[in-house]
Chain A
Amino acid sequence: MARVGRRGRVVGAVLAAVLGVSLAGCSSTGGKRAEERAAQAAGGKAAVHTPRWTFAMVTHSGDGDTFWDIVQNGAQQAAVKDNINFVYAHDKEAQRQSQLVQSYIDQKVDGLIVSLAKPDAMKDVVRKAEKAGIPVITVNSGAAESKAFGALTHIGQDETVAGEAVGEELTKRGKKKALCVLHEQGNVGHEQRCDGAAKTFKGELQKLYVDGTNMPDVQASIESKLQADPAIDAVVTLGAPFAPTAVQAKEQAGSKAEIDTFDLNAQVANGLKDGSLGFAVDQQPYLQGYQAVDLLWLYKYNSDVLGGGKPVLTGPQVITKKDAAALQEYTKRGTR
């Protein structure tokens, strides 16, 4: 008994110490307080009086993916404005993604938004939705298949076109030898980006596969590649979280290469501003979510269809140092 008492007192003392330190150990810089002081993105009320339709979005996102988080933010904000009940589900396995779509068809939702990263697995279920009278809009990937499957419109970035934009920008910057860092082996979109860049880039472009869920490994891999080949003067990462890591790898390897990236987040905006990053190619994921919900609403309300059967492109937008300052606050609130 005495022992338990003593242990209890020790635990109590530790907790008290932690609380005491956390009260005393405040940071006067950064943190939540700084965020609260900054302006917040506008929330708001519905701007229309149409019935409260339910739109479902099913993507091939993995757990905790920054990119899809922004897409979702866009969709949610459009849903608030359009008086839509917005539901979201995701699974990176194509089979389970199609099962999720099926479950929304069973629930008779009023509209569907689907990404077609693995089109063949999604074909049947998208056709089923069309037969059930549920309008479908495809987003992000699947520009080629969207129309054939019976979707209204595709909203997204053509990955090859985005890659080509990178290749052109690299050529414009006088680069000779670039490295394309792929963080997901077997992702078709990633290959298209690198291939697109290789197509328009006047220099030589090499690929490097890294394990995207293991940051120290990403850093060490880029580092070793830069050490192995000092002639590399540009590194292109395919996702925003990997750009700052590439910067560290470059510093460790003592390389002079310029780091560029696809996609955008707060760290990338900072990097562009302070010059540690050259440029970023943004496909504006917020637009993909926002437009998808808004176009479904327009279709239900007014039978409008955008794009005339052709995909509606949300990118690529090349962002450099001069745009970075303006975008910084939007990246912080998770809409760019």
Chain B
Amino acid sequence: MSAADAPARQPAPTGGPGDERLVHRSLARRLMSRPELGSVVGAIAVFLFFSLIAEPFLRPASLSTVLYASSTIGIMAVPVALLMIGGEFDLSAGVMVVSSALVSSMFSYQMTANTWVGVGVSLLVTLAIGAFNGVLLTRTKLPSFVITLGTFFMLTGLNLGFTKLISGTVSTKSIADMEGFDSARALFASHLTIGGVDIQITIVWWLALVAVATWVLLRTRAGNWIFAVGGNADAARAVGVPVTRTKIGLYMGVAFCAWISGQHLLFSFDAIQSGDGVGNEFLYIIAAAVGGCLMTGGFGSAIGAAVGALIFGMASKGIVYAQWNPDWYKFFLGVMLLLATLLNAWVRKRAEDKS
């Protein structure tokens, strides 16, 4: 994974050339100050824990299942992490995924169009929702919490209202027999067999998104803008950072990933329940927060969010592999997440003390 080499890709700060100790220390410090360090330790702890306690956990097929569960959260945790680094929240992200799936399913069905047409229309609509969030936020200067809560309710209502109005029922009709379904499924919901293990394609999407987001954050001007905007928007504006454009872009990034997740939902499960997705926005925020993104903005990483999603995936499925009493499932999950996050915070604090 790109987790290991990402810190090295960061531009080396100027240490005295020839002074070996200085270079060495700054490298260690750079490693220690990476936001995902704590979460990586947390992830290793959770992994070791379930490897010891649940015998089927270490099987390749099981790990592939865990990765699939992580990837469906992780695909959304990446843009949500970027948004959080930029100092904003998006409460509409969970429902937006379902909206995106509903739009492409219903457009294809009602127009009797090739499913790819629905997929394209859905991309435009979803990006428009993201832009709506971003523009409204930057124009009104209201907290993102309020704006996206409004969008959350509106989308929840629209999902149900439109589906009922157009389909006559609360779930969409099957589009599995329509043209273009199979090729779209190949892109969004297929699985590859690597070394006898089934790998869901969402895992590939996930890793690709993490790589792109990490590159943007660490290597491009836009990445600097995101950190600056989340740190102090006014100061950023004063030095010429396009705050408005950056924030709108971040919301559209969330929308784009919601589109990918939505298409996966549609082509994997064929018929979409219009009431789904509520509450998932918190999973994305949790993954980003567990992965070291500060709730106040200005600090965090895409890799951290990916590790956060991985911790969530491992904990939630590891409990099933361990065959614990299901009545206590949510309790165990909460304990796991809390412990992983505490370990995360502890490691980071020690890292900061040392450096």
Contacts and interface: CB of A to CB of B under 8 A. Distances in A.
Contact of B279 (A29, A208, A213): A213
Contact of B178 (A31, A215, A254): A31
Interface stretch (A132-140, A245-253, A256-264): A245-253
A221 B111 CA distance: 35
B3 interface: no
A245 B65 contact: no
Contacts of A69: 164, 169-170
B114 to A, nearest CB: 4
Q: Which of B66, B174, B191, B273 has the most CB of A within 10 A?
A: B273
Q: How large is the interface on B (under 10, 10 to 19, 20 to 34, 35 or more residues)?
A: 35 or more
B242 interface: no
Q: Which of B108, B180, B326 has the most CB of A within 10 A?
A: B326
Interface string B19-50: 00000000000000000000000000000000
Interface stretch (A17-25, A99-107, A150-158): A17-25
A221 B320 contact: yes
B133 to A, nearest CB: 19
B275 A65 contact: yes
B264 A252 contact: no
A241 interface: yes
Given A18-B124, A22-B113, A216 B275 contact: no
A123 B72 CA distance: 42
A142 interface: no
A207 B320 CA distance: 11
Contact of B65 (A18, A209, A223): A223
Given A31-B175, A32-B111, A21 B72 contact: no
A228 B276 contact: no
B61 A253 contact: yes
Interface string A59-91: 000111110010000000000000000000000
Contacts of A209: 326-327, 329
6 contacts: A30-B178, A62-B275, A65-B275, A214-B279, A216-B72, A252-B191
Interface of A: 14, 18, 21-22, 25-35, 62-66, 69, 185, 207-209, 213-217, 219-221, 223-225, 227-229, 241, 244-245, 248, 252-254, 265-267, 270, 332, 334
Given A27-B113, A267-B174, 11 more contacts: A25-B117, A31-B110, A62-B275, A63-B160, A64-B160, A64-B163, A213-B280, A219-B68, A220-B69, A224-B62, A252-B68
Complex A-B, nearest 9 residue pairs according to Cβ-Cβ distance, in ascending order: A64-B275, A31-B112, A220-B69, A25-B114, A30-B177, A216-B72, A30-B178, A27-B179, A64-B274
